[in-house]
Amino acid sequence: MKRYLPILLAVFASLSDGLFIFRMVSGAPFSPVNQPLQPLPLRELFEIYLLAKMIITTVNLILLLLVFIIYIRIYNNTGSKFSLGLVFFTIALILYAVTSNPILHVLTGFRGVGLGPFTMLPDLFTLIASAILLYLSRQ
């Protein structure tokens, strides 16, 4: 469990930073005073969505890079075709994580609007799958 602690702390820190930034961007009060919630304008919701998607895909990319390093080490030690297949599988997931990150979209000038939060769900599931792969690879 001790060797997984840095990974778990990094994921937890990324998620907690994302939640803090989300609260700042959304304008939600930090005090426990009950106030009626005002609906956010569409532009602010879109910015919050992009921030959440950016955090999820970045954590996903970090986990996949760790899995990639583990599979490269396994392939170097064994030379098996299965390990090589896992390396290519991980490369495909890394490319997915890179291309689905809003940072790349902004850098390339793309400003399109998708299907809202439903475009983020696959990234969330990929994040979970990457974490499971990392856990299983460390066994």
Closest CA to 94 of 56, 65, 133: 65
pLDDT for 4 beyond 80? no
Q: At what angle do helices 42-78 and 121-137 cross, to 10 degrees?
A: 30
Structure-block tokens of residue 72: 């490269």
Asked if residues 128 and 11 have their Cβ atoms less than 8 Å apart, the reply is: no
Task: Please state the rounded mean pLDDT for residues 34-52.
Answer: 71
CB–CB of 85/72 below 8 Å?
A: no
- Identify the pLDDT of residue 48: 82
pTM comes to 0.59
Q: Is residue 72 pLDDT above 90, yes or no?
A: yes
The b-or-e profile of 27-64 (16+ CB within 10 A means b, else e) is: eeeeeeeeeeeeeeeeeeeeebbebbbbbbbbbbbbbb
- Each domain of the chain, given as residue ranges in start order, spans 5-137
pLDDT digits (tens, 9 = 90+) for 78-125: 998 788 888 888 888 888 888 888 777 777 766 655 545 556 667 777
Write the pLDDT tens digit of every residue in 13-41: 565 555 555 555 555 555 555 555 566 67
- At 131 the three-state DSSP class reads helix
